[in-house]
Structure 1
Amino acid sequence: MKKFALLIMIFGLLISCKNETNKKDSSTEEVKKDSLAPVSDEMMESAVIYEANIRQYSPEGTFDAFTKDIPQLKDLGVKVIWLMPMYPISEKNRKATGGKDVEDIEDPEERKKYLGSYYSISDYSAVNPEHGTMEDFDELVQTAHENGMYVILDWVANHTGWDHAWITEHPEYYTKGKDGQITDPINDETGEPWGWTDVADLNFDNEEMRQKMTDEMLFWVKEHDIDGFRADAAHSVPTDYWESAAKTLNEVKPLIMLAEAQDPKDLFHNAFEMGYNWEGHHLMNEIAQGKKNAKDWDDYMKKVDTTFQKDDFLMNFITNHDENSWAGTVRERMGDASEAMLAMSYTIPGMPLIYSGQEYDMDKRLLFFEKDTIPKKKGKVYPLLEKLGALKNTHTALNGGKNKASYTAVKNSAEEKVLLFKREKDGESLYYVANMTDKPVAFTAEMQGDFMDYMKDSELSISKDQKMQFEPWQYKILINK
């Protein structure tokens, strides 16, 4: 009887220890989950965002290959990682390079090359097995959080792939054409299809589908601790849906909501934190190509100031997945103006973007429907991004979010050729000045004083009415001493 009592006591102690261990493990997990401060307006003032193309980031195209490089993104000032769609891709109507459909390719080996569009999704709540497992994905998110970075997912609400279960289980969730059949997305202005034949258009008049869509987003926030969404073609989905979804999602925790839209001004406030600066990007391309000038940029910034509300802010970029694959590389579009435009994207109001491979001087168009890979050799751009990222992270005059630093155009004697503006907040200020032409220019400007030439780590004094000479596409970031 005594032996039995002793055994009971030992067993009880073991259970107690196990429970205690479980409590510690649970506590540790809770600390890990909460170790990153919630998304805040303050964080976004000084953040750099990185667009990760998992398929093309590495030869392996896996979550793990990207995860191991996350710590070094801190060197570039990155605070937000945007993952391009990493969900399973539909096989039906899958697209191939050159506008072909995979189903039209007879050679089975040739057919295997084509992996389809990231934006033709067959399951919103799973990961593409080509990238790894859900556990691998969770490790990516945890590693980002441990390194002080937030993770947002590319969310494609406008359409699904043709293999999605809703096609057969809930055909009422989709838009029907004149023939009564589910259709690919339609251009509202022309009434004709866009040509995105690999996807099926969702019907947001269906309230049940709306709820299901929000539930799918909640899955990633609640179960996998992600920090927000980049909404693909946000303008193609009713604004009231985004407002409702954002309200529900933010009740779980504060999130980053980024709208991809040509004209995002109507999507802010109750739906999105940040919008695409597509118009500004296209203007940068045109200035680099000699089609527009510095005065056009000043006019654009006046338009932004009068069109958007004070707490609206935009994501600035010189490349992204769309531009790289379809419009051309940075060098193709911007040529010798590339560096001046990159520096400009960091110094104007907003949040600057780095696209996978940009940091490695990538000068090729990544294949969109096939496996490709970015270069991984540091050249000229990597140290440039390090320097610009450090300035963006630390200098209050470059705050670019809801409480952004002021932006003021500074008069100069060559306003069609020279772009000159001042950013200022809380007593800190800096200037960006650039020759926006492919010819040398001499000019004077309404600025004077002692400055730090940030990119050269040297001092510079400018006197009243001093004539300055800039070479083609030369720029400076000048910080008041």
Structure 2
Amino acid sequence: MSAFRNALAASLIGLASASASLAQTVPPETRDSELVRVEHPDWSHDAVLYQINLRQFTSEGSIAAAEAELPRLAELGVDILWLMPVQPIGVAERKGELGSPYSISDYRAVNPELGTMEDMRAFIDAAHELGFHVILDWVANHSAWDNPLIEAHPDWYSRDWRGDMQPPPGTDWSDVADFDYGNADLRDYMAESMAFWVREVGFDGFRCDVAGFVPIDFWERVRAEFDAIRPVFMLAEWEQRDLHRDAFDATYAWTWNNTMHDVAMGHADAGALRGHYFYEEANSWPRDAYRMRYTSNHDQNSWEGTQFERFGDALEAAIILSFTGSGIPLIYNGQEAGNQDRLAFFQRDPIEWREHPLNALFRDLVDLRHANSALWAGAAGAPMHNIENSHESSVFSFLRQDSRNAVLTAINFSAAPVQTVLHEGPHQGLYRDWQTGESIRFEADTMLELRPWEGRVFIAIDE
């Protein structure tokens, strides 16, 4: 799957750039109201996502064992738990020992390898008691080859030129059969199946797999139906502005991740990030569209490399940017333990849990985000303002300020130490260093020292 998703992300980068000129025709003051009509749930504004790969999350690999870990996640401070698919996995054409969780053989049941429906409800009840919200990874585009729908409703599936059922065209996903959303009955079945997990099981929304492979009007329909039940959160595995209009709260920031990787590997400098935020996103995306920033997830970890392979010495800098820049951040299970393994995708490969400095970094960043509304997602937070500095190729500096607080971030995206001056701008004033607690006043000629790949964050102090 990795090669396909990488190629897909690359093509979408080009589409996003091409759409900038179209976005510029939309007046800024109307862009959100015209392009984002989704009402984000109140509990999502300051939220941090945490992805749980149930198969690898605990040594038992079960829902009940994952429930026992909820107090630890509460200490970490994360808010929205994203569970990878929990349904039974197909056997026909299965890949690997246990198959892909994205090959669904029954949309309204729980995989017995993980536990029971009662275990699932108990997990959600326990999560809600601790203040979490829980979203389920949903696979609407395709099913397992031995899903009963294959026999009962063969007209629900797309066909190749021979007239045979097929995997999703253009992919190597040989273990699944592609649906045909031209069929109204399929749409009804899928919508009701999703509503079942919200209404009967207690989920608070969905992460939708390859959301761009499914018609937007289907997602807009189900979002309206879910909102009639209760507020939900919807994350699309896709990078497309129109998905935010009436369907999704958040979309994958693939472009951000790839740009950050290029900077970390020395293929680009800090200017690429400046261009990403202040040219591409400012022109192509409405501000109230939540863009999911991530330094790892299940696909990237298994197929592209660990967080350490992907970002090297720039990892902590990338994590800090994912929390202090615009968007909604994601932590993939095991990142906080410094997981150094590419977790196997089709078999059991439990995470090796241990104490690691990244745990404290993530915990402190979660607290920072919760405490400073300027850092919240979308229109609930503040936009990023570029702060010019004397080392623009190395240092990315920006301010996020609202009526309640202001947060200044400066990150050295280079392997050399720098002494940079943050030039005259709206950031000038008294701040507290987020990590050391020391006070610093920024004037037009204040010198700031940054170690290689160091990110420094400052919180404004009332004078």
| TM-score for the superposition, normalised by structure 2 | 0.88
What code does the residue aligned with 2:204 have? D
Structure 1 distance, partners of 2:194, 2:301, is: 28
Correspondences of 1:84-103 after superposition (within 5 Å): 84-96=84-96
- Equivalent residue, structure 2, for 1:33: none
Query: Helix, strand or coil: the match of 1:251?
Result: helix
Structure 2 distance, partners of 1:178, 1:406, is: 49
Higher mean C-alpha displacement, 460-469 vs 302-311 = 460-469
Alignment of 1:401 onto 2:378: yes
* 2:229 aligned to which of 230, 243, 252: 252
Give the superposition deviation at 1:368.
0.3
Per-residue CA distance 1:216-255 (angstroms, 9 max, x = gap): 0011111111100001000111111111121122211111
Query: Helix, strand or coil: the match of 1:245?
Result: helix
* 2:209 aligned to which of 215, 229, 232: 232
Structure 2 distance, partners of 1:448, 1:207, is: 58
Query: Helix, strand or coil: the match of 1:177?
Result: coil
Structure 1 distance, partners of 2:381, 2:42, is: 10
What code does the residue aligned with 2:48 have? V
Alignment of 1:449 onto 2:429: yes
- Equivalent residue, structure 2, for 1:72: 72
- Equivalent residue, structure 1, for 2:25: none
Structure 2 distance, partners of 1:349, 1:59, is: 35
Q: What is the RMSD of the two structures over their aligned residues, measured on CA atoms?
A: 1.3
| Contact 1:41–1:401 under 8 Å retained in 2 | no
Structure 2 distance, partners of 1:403, 1:383, is: 26
- Equivalent residue, structure 2, for 1:312: 289
Give the superposition deviation at 1:292.
1.3
Alignment of 1:140 onto 2:123: yes
Alignment of 1:430 onto 2:407: yes
Identity %: 37
| Contact 2:373–2:380 under 8 Å retained in 1 | no
- Equivalent residue, structure 1, for 2:342: 365
Correspondences of 1:9-408 after superposition (within 5 Å): 41-96=41-96, 114-187=97-170, 194-261=171-238, 263-302=239-278, 303-408=280-385
Give the superposition deviation at 1:443.
1.7
| TM-score for the superposition, normalised by structure 1 | 0.85
Alignment of 1:460 onto 2:443: no
Q: Which runs of 5+ in 2 are unaligned?
A: 1-38
| Contact 2:41–2:232 under 8 Å retained in 1 | no
How many pairs does the alignment contain? 419
- Equivalent residue, structure 2, for 1:469: 449
Q: Which runs of 5+ in 1 are unaligned?
A: 1-38, 97-113, 188-193
Structure 2 distance, partners of 1:173, 1:83, is: 27
Q: Rate the CA distance shift 1:212–1:402 in 2: closer, same or farther, 3 A.
A: farther
Structure 2 distance, partners of 1:417, 1:279, is: 20
Structure 2 distance, partners of 1:198, 1:89, is: 10
Per-residue CA distance 1:144-164 (angstroms, 9 max, x = gap): 100111110000001001010
| Contact 1:77–1:393 under 8 Å retained in 2 | no
- Equivalent residue, structure 2, for 1:106: none
What code does the residue aligned with 1:177 have? D
Structure 2 distance, partners of 1:394, 1:431, is: 14
Structure 2 distance, partners of 1:375, 1:442, is: 39
Structure 1 distance, partners of 2:287, 2:419, is: 35
Give the superposition deviation at 1:40.
5.4
Look at both structures and tell me which one has the larger radius of gyration over its CA atoms. Answer: 1
Give the superposition deviation at 1:383.
1.0
Query: Helix, strand or coil: the match of 2:436?
Result: coil
Structure 2 distance, partners of 1:157, 1:123, is: 12
* Runs of 4+ in structure 1 over 4 Å off: none
- Equivalent residue, structure 1, for 2:388: 411
Query: Helix, strand or coil: the match of 1:331?
Result: helix
